[in-house]
Structure 1
Amino acid sequence: MLFGLFFGAGNLIFPLHLGQLAGSHWLLAALGFLITAVLLPLFSVLAISVTRSEGVYDIGKPLGAAFALVFMVLIHATIGPLFGTPRTATVSFTVGVAPFLPKQFDQIGLFVFSLLFFGLAFILSYKENNIVKNVGKVLNPLFLLLLFVVFLVAFTNPLGSTTTASVTKAYLSDPFTNGFLQGYNTMDALAGLAFGVTVVTAVKQLGKKKPRSIALTTARAGILTMAAIGLIYLLLILVGAMSLGKFKVSADGGVAFTQIVNYYAGRIGQAFLATLLTLNCLTTAVGLVAAFAQDFHKHFPKVSYHVWLAFSCLASFLTANFGLDQIITWSVPLLMFLYPLAMALIVLSITSPWFKRDSRVYLTTVVLTVVPAFFDMVVSFPAVVSQSSFGLVVANFQQKFLPLANVGLDWLVPAVVGFALGLVWHFAQGQAAVGVVGKSQVK
Structure 2
Amino acid sequence: MNKDTFIIGFMLFALFFGAGNLIYPPTLGIESGTSYWAAIAGFVITGVGLPILAVTAISFVNNDARELADRVHPMFGLIFISVVYLAIGPFFGIPRASTVAYEMSVEPFTNASTLSLFLFTTIFFVLVYIVSRNPSKMVDRIGQYLTPILLIAIIALCVGGFLLLDSTFAGPTEKYAASPFFAGFVEGYLTMDAIGALAFGIIVVNAFKERGISSQKELVKSTLKAGIVTGIGLVTVYGSIGWIGAKMAADGNYTNGGDILSSAANVMFGSFGALLLGIIVSLACFTTSVGLVVACGQFFTKITRFSYNWIILLVTVVSFLTANQGLNTIISISVPVLVFIYPIAIVLILLTYTQKLFNQSKAVYRGSILLTGIISLYDGLAAFGVKMPAITTAMEFLPFFELGLGWLVPAIIGGIIGYLFKGTLAPSYSS
TM-score scaled by structure 1?
0.90
Q: Distance in 2 between matches of 1:38 and 1:167?
A: 23
Residue of 3, 12, 18 corresponding to 1:2: 12
In the alignment, residue 414 of structure 1 is paired with which amino acid? P
Residue of 286, 296, 303 corresponding to 2:300: 296
Equivalence map 1:105-116=2 (5 Å): 106-116=113-123
Q: Distance in 1 between matches of 2:224 and 2:359?
A: 20
What does residue 361 of structure 2 align with? 358
Deviation at 1:3, TM superposition (A): 1.0
Equivalence map 1:229-244=2 (5 Å): 229-244=234-249
Residue of 332, 336, 342 corresponding to 1:333: 336
Deviation at 1:223, TM superposition (A): 2.1
Deviation at 1:32, TM superposition (A): 1.2
Q: Distance in 2 between matches of 1:403 and 1:311?
A: 43
Deviation at 1:13, TM superposition (A): 1.4
In the alignment, residue 331 of structure 1 is paired with which amino acid? S
1:13 maps to 2:26: no
Q: Is the 8 A contact 2:38 2:180 kept in 1?
A: yes
Give deviations 1:240-296, integer Å, cap 9, x for gaps.
111123233x22101101111112223222122112100111111110000000011
Q: Distance in 2 between matches of 1:406 and 1:168?
A: 16
SS of residue in 2 equivalent to 1:62: coil
Q: Is the 8 A contact 1:159 1:246 kept in 2?
A: no
What does residue 398 of structure 2 align with? 402
Q: Is the 8 A contact 1:92 1:278 kept in 2?
A: yes
Q: Distance in 2 between matches of 1:410 and 1:212?
A: 36
Structure whose alpha-carbon radius of gyration is higher = 1
Q: Is the 8 A contact 1:17 1:256 kept in 2?
A: yes
Residue of 10, 28, 34 corresponding to 2:38: 28
What does residue 205 of structure 1 align with? 210
Deviation at 1:392, TM superposition (A): 4.0
Residue of 291, 308, 323 corresponding to 1:287: 291
What does residue 346 of structure 1 align with? 349
Residue of 123, 148, 161 corresponding to 1:154: 161
Q: Is the 8 A contact 1:97 1:274 kept in 2?
A: yes
Q: Is the 8 A contact 2:58 2:201 kept in 1?
A: yes
Q: Distance in 2 between matches of 1:314 and 1:397?
A: 43
Equivalence map 1:158-307=2 (5 Å): 158-162=165-169, 165-248=170-253, 250-300=254-304, 302-307=305-310
Task: Give me the identity figure in percent.
Answer: 36
Q: Is the 8 A contact 1:22 1:175 kept in 2?
A: yes
Deviation at 1:174, TM superposition (A): 2.1
In the alignment, residue 316 of structure 2 is paired with which amino acid? C
Q: Is the 8 A contact 2:165 2:268 kept in 1?
A: no
- Is the deviation greater in 224-233 or in 289-298? 224-233
SS of residue in 1 equivalent to 2:106: helix
In the alignment, residue 54 of structure 1 is paired with which amino acid? N
Q: Distance in 1 between matches of 2:56 and 2:206?
A: 16
Equivalence map 1:51-66=2 (5 Å): 51-66=60-75
Q: Is the 8 A contact 2:32 2:177 kept in 1?
A: yes
Q: Is the 8 A contact 1:159 1:245 kept in 2?
A: no
Q: Is the 8 A contact 1:337 1:373 kept in 2?
A: yes
Q: Distance in 2 between matches of 1:99 and 1:397?
A: 48
Q: Distance in 1 between matches of 2:227 and 2:251?
A: 37
Q: Is the 8 A contact 1:29 1:176 kept in 2?
A: yes
What does residue 150 of structure 2 align with? 143
Residue of 71, 82, 89 corresponding to 1:80: 89
In the alignment, residue 79 of structure 1 is paired with which amino acid? I
Deviation at 1:227, TM superposition (A): 2.4
Q: Distance in 2 between matches of 1:393 and 1:324?
A: 34
Q: Distance in 2 between matches of 1:314 and 1:206?
A: 32
Deviation at 1:134, TM superposition (A): 1.5
Q: Distance in 2 between matches of 1:110 and 1:368?
A: 42
What's the C-alpha RMSD, in Å, of the aligned pairs? Answer: 1.7
Q: Is the 8 A contact 2:29 2:36 kept in 1?
A: yes
Q: Is the 8 A contact 1:151 1:235 kept in 2?
A: yes
Residue of 406, 409, 414 corresponding to 1:413: 409
Deviation at 1:214, TM superposition (A): 2.0
Deviation at 1:52, TM superposition (A): 2.6
TM-score scaled by structure 2?
0.92
Q: Paired residues, what number?
A: 415
Deviation at 1:230, TM superposition (A): 1.3
In the alignment, residue 408 of structure 1 is paired with which amino acid? G
Q: Distance in 2 between matches of 1:180 and 1:198?
A: 26
Q: Distance in 2 between matches of 1:107 and 1:160?
A: 37
Q: Distance in 2 between matches of 1:409 and 1:192?
A: 21
Deviation at 1:127, TM superposition (A): 0.8
Give deviations 1:300-331, integer Å, cap 9, x for gaps.
2x201111111111111111111111111111
In the alignment, residue 410 of structure 1 is paired with which amino acid? G
- Is the deviation greater in 229-238 or in 366-375? 229-238
Q: Is the 8 A contact 1:53 1:59 kept in 2?
A: no
Q: Distance in 2 between matches of 1:137 and 1:218?
A: 18
Q: Is the 8 A contact 2:154 2:237 kept in 1?
A: no
- Taking a change above 3 Å as real, the CA distance of residues 258 and 320 of structure 1, as seen in their structure-2 partners, is same
Give deviations 1:156-199, integer Å, cap 9, x for gaps.
1124123xx23212111221221111100000100111112211
Q: Is the 8 A contact 2:40 2:184 kept in 1?
A: yes
Q: Distance in 2 between matches of 1:156 and 1:168?
A: 26
Deviation at 1:395, TM superposition (A): 3.1
| 5+ long unaligned stretches in structure 1 | 434-443
